[in-house]
A and B are shown apart, each in its own frame.
Chain A
Amino acid sequence: MGKTQTFTGGRRVVLTIYVVVVAVAALTGLILGTFVEGKLLAPKYLGLIEFPATPLGLAAYGALTLATVLGVLLGLVIYVSDRYVE
């Protein structure tokens, strides 16, 4: 074809998706916290650590929760990829 091809590392793309989706969760928390401030109960991360019911508190709570859930799945991806070549 007379062309060479450029490649992007798969890991970089996956990590970018991870960061973007976690950022969406943070943004959701921030916006909701702004609109309904003063009407929310303080959320608890994993039912243990309490976050303040402020925009930043909700953003941190949302980001951390989704980062944990998706992080576990990402950890599994890394674990499986290293051990099983298909």
Chain B
Amino acid sequence: MATGQLALTVLMGVFLIAVAAWLSRVEDWRSYAPLSGGGGYRRDTGTAHEEKPAGLIRWLTTVDHKDIGILYGLYGTIAFIWGGLAVLLMRVELASPAQDVIELSMYNGLLTSHGITMLFLFATPIIAAFSNYFIPLLIGADDMAFPRINAIAFWLLPPAALLIWAGFFLDPLTGGQIQAAQTSWTMYTPLSAEQANPGVDLMLLGLHLSGVSATMGAINFIVTIFTERNDKVNWANLDIFSWTILTQSGLILFAFPLLGSALIMLLLDRNFATTFFTVGGGSPILWQHLFWFFGHPEVYILVLPPMGMVSYILPKFAGRKLFGFKFVVYSTLAIGVLSFGVWAHHMFSTGIDPRLRASFMAVSLAIAIPSAVKTFNWITTLWNGKLRMTAPMLFCIGFISNFIIGGVTGVFLAAVPVDLVLHDTYYVVGHFHYIVMGVIAFGVFAAVYYWFPIYTGRMYQRTLAKWHFWLVMVGTNLTFFGMLILGYLGMPRRYATYDFNPAITPMQAITALHQLATVGAFIIAIGMAIFVWNIVMSWMEGPVIEDGDPWSLKDTNQHGHEWHWHENRVNRSIVAADGGEEEVATDGGEVADE
């Protein structure tokens, strides 16, 4: 056995050396590495991205912020599909009360995987997709401050995903010795400390790796925005998306290292008999404090950039500047600061000191104010606007209406007495999914469509985009509104099966609401299939954009830095091309002569 392991180790070592040797031979890396001159400050480095190698090697070795942005986007999409399929299985199981589709352990594994995948492998990287691609363009920088760290930060993510998902693959291979982690995404102790399954350790290591990746990215964005801005871009005219990414990066810098430390402590508890979080010797409440000190800022790490995207995109199609720009920036910073003072509202029902609960309730209610300021400014921007109902605009409007529902339901949860009743019910699940799916994902979709002409050079199919919007909008509200009602009726979250005393809670209603949520989830899935189809097909075959201003932003004096960059690129390619392309079908409204 030991000989076999030794042989395997030697074999892996030889394999890794062979890969390293091959990579060092296939390309002269210095020929296209932008920092071959060294240093992190902006200067003429003679960066020549045109010298990128072709094919797969380009994508494996790239340090270009645009390429890395696309890699993040691809990665986030794959993770979204994984997380989406996981939840579809769970919703099928919940469509009837008894266990009848998947085993309970599988359900718990999917539940854990869905949460962690959507938060850490989809939402965080998909935001990085846009920030990597567009922040340097928006601030007039050549690239990120540390392009290689940027690449390393991305390449930590695939192994992170493999570790987090490892239990699913290893379960059949090891005869059930290693299973998917079944701790839920919150990894509450003592459950997570006491489960013997090594799949939990793999998941914790993967999660730790994704945190290292996010922290490296955040440091890069902070340095880039501080030091790489073009001379014409100052703090006063820095765009709102960059402001939100800067704030988000600050939150990551303070929150993720804490998660990393807590994960290491949990791993030590599991493997080396330390007792940080155990019932005897340590404290499960300590885990919750540490986890939520990270976990609540994480909510804002995820929601601030989509808020920035909507604040940036919505005025373009409302034909007027964002109302109260300064106050939107201030509210972003205020949310950033307050987000560190609300964590214990996740712990109202744990028996913590009532004085502590009261203070956290006050701060939790207070954070609604800057959030409302943003909503107020978006609606005021819309009020006197002449709106163009393009796909990005539809998603911005859907974002706002979902945010109102998600926000109002959240205000109730911030109140201790209400939280004690609704805690750990589907009401909480409905509330935060209104934010995560109805708000964060909608902001991302708006950005995908808005910037599609830049990163693909083509235009998407606008009819399919509108189908995508309406299906996802209807599906989101059907699913998560159903969950809010389920919560009111007392359906606990996380359970794979359910049974109620009809004298207390109508069982038929619970089942019907679960079925409604399942139907909604499938409607979302159909919308997402259309989305992926549209993006892939339009990327390959969509009409080529030859217009430097496909959204007619010059009409309202809103042609931003990234579109200037796009226009320069288009002009260069038109000079080089032979012309005569078909007319570009933009999504700028109805066609007059149809």
Contacts and interface: CB of A to CB of B under 8 A. Distances in A.
Contact of A13 (B324, B397, B404): B397
Contact of A28 (B385, B485, B586): B485
A77 B376 contact: yes
B485 A4 contact: no
B338 interface: no
Interface stretch (B51-59, B304-312, B386-394): B386-394
Contact of B382 (A2, A10, A76): A10
B481 A5 contact: no
A10 B389 contact: no
A42 interface: no
B584 A1 contact: yes
Interface in A15-39: 17, 20-21, 24, 27-28, 31-32, 35-36
Contacts of B584: 1
A16 B520 CA distance: 22
The listed residue with most A CB atoms (<10 A of its CB), out of B380, B381, B481, B552, is: B380
Contacts of A81: 323, 380, 383-384
A7 B383 contact: no
B28 interface: no
Contact of A24 (B323, B400, B405): B405
A41 interface: no
Contact of A3 (B387, B489, B592): B592
Contacts, number: 101
B590 interface: yes
Contacts of B408: 66
A17 B401 contact: yes
B400 A32 contact: no
Interface residues of A, number: 33
Contacts of B379: 14, 17, 73-74, 77
B342 to A, nearest CB: 22
A14 B591 contact: no
A9 interface: yes
Contacts of A10: 318, 381-387
Given A13-B397, A14-B382, A3 B589 contact: yes
A21 B404 contact: yes
A86 B389 contact: no
B33 interface: no
Of B325, B383, B387, B590, most buried by chain A (CB within 10 Å of CB) is B383
Contact of B591 (A3, A7, A20, A78): A3
A30 to B, nearest CB: 10
B413 to A, nearest CB: 15
B372 interface: yes
B382 A7 contact: no
A4 B224 CA distance: 39
Interface of B: 318-319, 321, 323-325, 372, 376, 379-389, 397, 400-401, 404-405, 408, 477, 481, 484-485, 488-489, 505-506, 509, 547, 550, 552, 583-584, 586, 588-593
27 contacts: A1-B552, A1-B583, A1-B586, A1-B588, A3-B586, A3-B592, A5-B388, A5-B552, A6-B388, A6-B589, A7-B319, A7-B386, A7-B589, A8-B387, A8-B389, A9-B386, A10-B383, A10-B384, A10-B385, A10-B386, A13-B397, A14-B382, A17-B400, A27-B481, A35-B489, A76-B376, A86-B323
